[in-house]
Chain A
Amino acid sequence: MSFLEIKNLSIEFGGLRAVDDFNLSLKQGELIAIIGPNGAGKTTVFNMLTGLYAPTSGSIDLNGESLLGLKPFQFAQKGIARTFQNIRLFADSTVIDNVKMAYTHKSRETFFQCLFRTPEMVRQERELDEHALKLLERFGLAGQADLLAKNLPYGAQRRLEIVRALMLDPKILLLDEPVAGMVTTELDDIATMVKKLRDELGLTIILIEHHMNFVMPIADRIKVLNFGQTIAEGEAEEIQRNPDVIAAYLGGGYVYANA
């Protein structure tokens, strides 16, 4: 029995079949990457996995429990956390508040405790602060905890998004182009970080990325999408040699010219 089981997932927008028959079965602690050219349907898959889009057909099961029909916030509460392709932080809040905002549904503070600031509530609040700070420290953001999120440099904002997602205490982490817009030296940092998340926290990770050389060394498996369809699946080396993949990335003519 696999941890996350996605079967025959399809979605149509009007006449357009944006994702067609997507299958994925994940074991706990696996790190898989979804790659593909722009418009291949990668982010659409993520949107279905977080409840933002309702699939036209297919099923999503987490630990044997179907997630279909749930609201996005319930997906998050079940343990699927994500980051965004274009950063979606709570820009006008401080860094630490951004992280704490991902914990509100778990906090057991009651309304009146907060209003009267009872010792119990103060203690819980302090624990929450410590928990958030510890996570921030792990990603080198503890020093900026009181800055507004919008004033962080770009790379730090990307890391903060990951910290915020981790605060949900997720079972599965979806990373949507975590290195978009970063320079090559930063790629290695993020790659190490993602690997550490998997190795140290035992997280199951699905990663969307364009950069082949970012994905290749860290992913256990790679799935390639093009025009909503899965055109290849396997380990990094198989994928690199797969003619369909090369065609999708470099245009069909390239393959035929070399054939």
Chain B
Amino acid sequence: MSTLMQFLVYGLQLGSVYALLALGYTMVYGIVGMINFAHGDFLMIGALSTFFIAQLFSQIYAASGSYPALVVLVIILIAMVGTGFIGVGVEAIAYRPLRNRPKMSALITAVGVSMFLENFPRALPFIGPSPRSFPALFPSIKFNLSGVMISTTQIIMIALSLIFMLILYNVVNKTKIGMQMRAVSMDKNAAQLMGINVNQVISITFFIGAALAASSGIFYASIYPQVDVYMGSWLGTKSFIAAVIGGIGDIRGAMLGGFIMGITEILATSINSNLGYAIGFVILILILLFKPAGIMGKLTIDKV
């Protein structure tokens, strides 16, 4: 029993990474109607930039080897905001000119953007292809709760990601910008004729998505402390699956899908380490067979 609980903790931890990343896929799909295959790379940018920012700060603040909480918060915020603006830039340069073109153009462009985002930093002399070890940003004090080991890192990660999701859910459902997002997602043309600045709304969507991806990158690197330029690609694929499982376009679905992916992956790995990689795809196939619109998704039937 306690082993199962232990796996559940690991699963929640990994699941929060997937869920935060899946939110970006689902928001962009829901509002712009395209799949941003470069989204996983925002995770990498977030993690790598955190690495460099932390390095800058380390000379001043972390002489003792650990970072004060406030400094960690500042580092995370800088990385999230920075990645957010990169997301806005990518949208403005690569996707906006193609918005009224066939969906396939944007899809292929997204693949290209993904390749660029991975290989451009790889070519930069001060980044390069080699993996780096990620600094320990969060304190790691372990607690033993009747046989289940849980560390402060895990508690902080899971709590922070839940807070981010709660904020996002409220932003979309309760605020002015959320209302504009919903209007844009339903009909861009009608929305702009109702005085809504569609470009601005889409920029904000990309900003939020990329910032959340950065946070998930930081969390992921805090569990598996190694960062390199390719880390975003397969994490991105898995989170995309999570978004599809939950029902792409639905925010609650992305969170649910992320946690399902994380927990099943950990459980499957505990049985056989090869199973861990496969299980996500197994679930995806099952979902597509039996509930093609995802768990939360509503199947839309085109009227003829």
Complex formed: what's the CA distance from A168 to B194 in Å?
7
**Number of contacts between A and B (CB, 8 Å)?**
87
Q: Is A164 an interface residue when CB atoms closer than 8 A count as contact? A: yes
Known A-B contacts A111-B177, A114-B175, A115-B174; A164 and B186 likewise in contact (beta carbons under 8 Å): no
Q: Are B179 and A100 neighbours in the complex by a CB distance under 8 Å?
A: yes
Q: Are B195 and A168 neighbours in the complex by a CB distance under 8 Å?
A: yes
- Chain A 141-182, CB within 8 Å of chain B: the 1/0 string? 000000000000000000000001000100000000000000
Pick the contact of A102: B174, B176, B194 (CB < 8 A): B194
Complex formed: what's the CA distance from A117 to B171 in Å?
11
Q: Are B196 and A105 neighbours in the complex by a CB distance under 8 Å?
A: yes
Q: Is B160 an interface residue when CB atoms closer than 8 A count as contact? A: no
* Interface residues in A, total, Cβ within 8 A: 32
Least CB distance, B114 to chain A, in whole angstroms: 30
For residue A50, which residues in chain B have a CB less than 8 angstroms away from its CB?
A: 193
Q: Are A104 and B174 neighbours in the complex by a CB distance under 8 Å?
A: no
- Chain B 150-170, CB within 8 Å of chain A: the 1/0 string? 000000000000000001001
For residue A8, which residues in chain B have a CB less than 8 angstroms away from its CB?
A: none
For residue A241, which residues in chain B have a CB less than 8 angstroms away from its CB?
A: none
For residue A89, which residues in chain B have a CB less than 8 angstroms away from its CB?
A: 187, 190
Q: Are A82 and B193 neighbours in the complex by a CB distance under 8 Å?
A: yes
Q: Are B197 and A101 neighbours in the complex by a CB distance under 8 Å?
A: no
Q: Is A71 an interface residue when CB atoms closer than 8 A count as contact? A: yes
Pick the contact of A104: B186, B189, B196 (CB < 8 A): B196
Q: Are B190 and A73 neighbours in the complex by a CB distance under 8 Å?
A: no
Which 7 interchain pairs have the tightest Cβ spacing? A114-B175, A76-B195, A88-B190, A102-B194, A105-B195, A72-B192, A90-B186
5 new A-B contacts at CB < 8 Å, known A91-B186, A97-B179 = A52-B189, A97-B182, A102-B195, A106-B195, A117-B174
> Chain A residues in contact with chain B, CB under 8 A?
50, 52, 71-73, 75-77, 81-82, 84, 88-93, 97, 100-102, 104-107, 109, 111, 114-115, 117, 164, 168
